[in-house]
Amino acid sequence: MADPTESCVMTMTVTTTPASDLALTNLAYCSPSDLRCFAVPGTPDLFLANVGESISDGSIALNSIQRRHARVSAGDIVSVTRFIPPESFDLTVLTVDLEFVKKGTKNEQIDATLLSTQLKKKFTNQVLTVGQRVTFEYHGTNYIFTVNRAVIVADDENQTNCIERGMICKDTYFVFEASNASGIKIINQRESVTSKIFKEKEFNLQSLGIGGLGAEFVAIFRRAFTSRILPRDVVNRIGAKHVKGMLLFGPPGTGKTLMARQIGKMLNGKEPKIVNGPEVLSKFVGETEKNVRDLFADAENDQRTLGDASELHIIIFDEIDAICKSRGSTRDGTGVHDGIVNQLLTKIDGVEALNNVLLIGMTNRKDMLDEALLRPGRLEVHIEISLPDEVGRLQILQIHTKKMKDNSFLSPDVNLQELAARTKNYSGAELEGVVKSATSYAFNRQLSMEDLTKPVDEENIKITMDDFLQALLE
Ligand code: ADP
């Protein structure tokens, strides 16, 4: 609620202003420059938008919608109290629901990045209240958004607080939502998502369930995504070209899929398309080539219909070596693979024009891949994901034991540091396996072999250091 303090109750005369002046229904122009926001006791809150220069002292200017909203008329005397916004408005997340002003308008798409910039330009330093409806114009069409949620993110970003109202500032992070029924398609939520990622300075990967790959993650991010996040005109002026493809290579089970998936989610807010190399293969040659073509179909379609406004399509190609073996390397000499590799190369080269695809290939066998696939303009950035070092192993063990620790199933004698030291050359997947195996030893202790139906004494399940040591012997 507003923070009305007796000391700053003021009396003001309501004056009028054209409806077009203020799009926000509970904002008002006001004259005294020292006051920023106002609540009118007994009526829906009204907030000061800008200090209107033409408004005389002691007046509050409301448009017709606002006067109705506040149930006042021009010439009325109203008392207004100061509303002191919470201090930490640094990063306010506003989740807003979009809809058309006119029902029946269809198939419009809204570029979240553009709209966010536009709204900030127009409404900076203005206050939005949850539930408030705001009209705005975007590319000649009128829309309304309703503020569903306002959240303040604390400086250390570990704490978020839902608030009743937030002030729009340069760091405000808009989350646009639109129901399917509205027919509005929201694209490019990227800028907002990444500004949040960038705020997470240290790339807190552990909270995302990834241990020990900080440097690799930052490298992938820098090479593949920064050019896509910068405003388009800056990228054009610099003449930068987006990276279209990258290859993550290294031993199995080191977190390549985990990371590619997470990056995809961070950028688009949804699961990226993951394709399994061997699954694309069909015993019918033509079928496999078609499968490869189909992978790119959505992206091509979007590019055709939406042009530059198309969202980024991330295609993750697991075990890419299965279909991109060096041409001529297949023993059967049928050249079957050659056709597939050529097909994929053609598609990737076509992506140059597309600009809306990022292909992430993954392999345990970089040496097997057709050289042509790795050339500039194709899978040009190569990032090695190696076995984790001791710090990485500790983080991975912490990730995979977090739940049992939080729920008091991990015995205090378990020394993860020591386990990390003893597990040289273990991959992330193998460490996960050790945790699973240790857990099974603990479960086993609770089971009565004579009577498997006997209820397990949950309280007594404790995974001990011994369980882990036994698991390591397996
Ligand atoms: P890759 O793609 O390199 O073969 P995955 O990403 O599929 O490996 O890893 C398999 C599983 O092993 C993951 O789902 C995860 O549970 C675990 N894992 C592997 N690497 C890590 C890591 N760095 N941090 C946390 N868990 C990991």
pLDDT tens-digit profile of 41-78? 666 666 665 555 677 777 888 877 777 767 788 898 88
Does the beta carbon of 310 sit less than 6 angstroms from any atom of ligand 1? no
**Rounded average pLDDT over 398-422:** 94
Ligand 1 mean position, distance from CA 472 (Å): 18
Q: What pLDDT is attached to residue 463? A: 95
CB 253 within 8 A of CB 428: yes
Handedness of CA 195, 200, 201, 207 (dihedral sign): negative
Question: What is the rounded CA–CA span in Å between residue 1 and residue 4?
Answer: 9
Tell me the C-alpha distance between 274 and 360, whole Å. 9
Residue 450 C-alpha to ligand 1 middle, in angstroms?
38
1 vs 40, which has greater pLDDT?
A: 40
- pLDDT, one tens digit per residue, over 318-354 is 888 887 776 555 544 455 566 777 878 887 777 656 6
pLDDT at 39: 61
pLDDT of residue 432: 97
Q: Is the pLDDT of residue 305 over 50?
A: yes
Q: Which atom of ligand 1 is nearest to the CA of 429?
A: 12
CA of 299 to the centre of ligand 1 (A): 28
Q: What percent of the chain has pLDDT over 70?
A: 62
Q: Which of 4-18, 257-271, 291-305 has the highest average model confidence (pLDDT)?
A: 291-305
Closest atom of ligand 1 to 399 CA is 25
C-alpha to C-alpha distance for 140 and 128, rounded to whole angstroms: 23
Q: What's the confidence (pLDDT) of residue 195?
A: 43
**Residue 53: predicted pLDDT:** 64
User: pLDDT band for position 386 (50/70/90)?
Assistant: very high
> Measuring CA to CA, which residue among 31, 69, 35 is closest to residue 53?
31
Higher pLDDT, 433 or 81: 433
- Cα separation, 417 vs 439, in Å, equals 18
- Of all protein residues, whose CA lies closest to atom 12 belonging to ligand 1? 429
pLDDT of residue 253: 96
How many whole angstroms from 258 Cα to the centroid of ligand 1? 6
| C-alpha of residue 383 to centroid of ligand 1, in Å | 16
Best mutation site among 203, 205, 254, 256 for ligand 1 pocket (most ligand atoms within 8 Å of CB) = 254
Q: Is 261 in the pocket of ligand 1 (CB under 6 A)?
A: no
- pLDDT, the chain, mean: 75
Weakest-pLDDT range from 249-258, 314-323, 361-370: 314-323
The confidence score (pLDDT) of residue 193 equals 42
Output the CA torsion 14→15→17→19 (10° steps): 40
Most confident of 49-58, 128-137, 152-161, 326-335: 128-137
Distance of CA 428 from the midpoint of ligand 1 (Å): 5
DSSP state, residue 217: H
Residue 438 has a pLDDT of 97
Which pLDDT band, with edges at 50, 70 and 90, does 420 fall under? very high
pLDDT of residue 45: 63
Does 269 score more than 80 pLDDT?
A: no
For ligand 1, is residue 260 a contact (CB within 6 Å)? Answer: no
User: Ligand 1 in contact with 384 (CB < 6 A)?
Assistant: no
- By C-alpha distance, which of 67, 14, 75, 61 is closest to 44? 67
Residue 419 has pLDDT above 90, yes or no: yes
User: Is 394 close to ligand 1, i.e. is its CB under 6 Å away?
Assistant: no
Please state, in angstroms and rounded to a whole number, the distance separating the CA atoms of residues 27 and 336: 68
CB 210 near ligand 1, within 6 Å: yes
Q: Is the backbone of residue 125 left (phi > 0), alpha (psi -120 to 50) or beta?
A: left
Section 133-156 average pLDDT: 71
Ligand 1 centroid, distance to 429 Cα (angstroms): 5
Structure tokens at 400: 């995979």
- pLDDT over 90 (residue 397): yes
Whether residue 191 has pLDDT greater than 50: no
Q: What is the mean pLDDT of residues 194-221?
A: 66
Helix (H) or strand (E) holding 380: strand 379-384
Please check the confidence at residue 174 and state whether its pLDDT lies above 70: yes
pLDDT at 256: 93
255 close to ligand 1 (CB < 6 Angstrom): yes
pLDDT for residue 429 = 97
198 alpha carbon, distance to own chain's centre = 11
Is 428 a pocket residue for ligand 1 (Cβ < 6 Å)?
Answer: yes
Question: Using a 6 Å cutoff on CB, does residue 262 contact ligand 1?
Answer: no
Distance (Å) from CA 464 to ligand 1 centroid: 24
447 pLDDT above the threshold of 80: no
Give the distance (Å) from ligand 1 centre to CA of residue 260: 11
Residue 106 pLDDT > 60: no
Between 236 and 259, residue with greater pLDDT: 259
361 Cβ below 6 A of ligand 1:
no
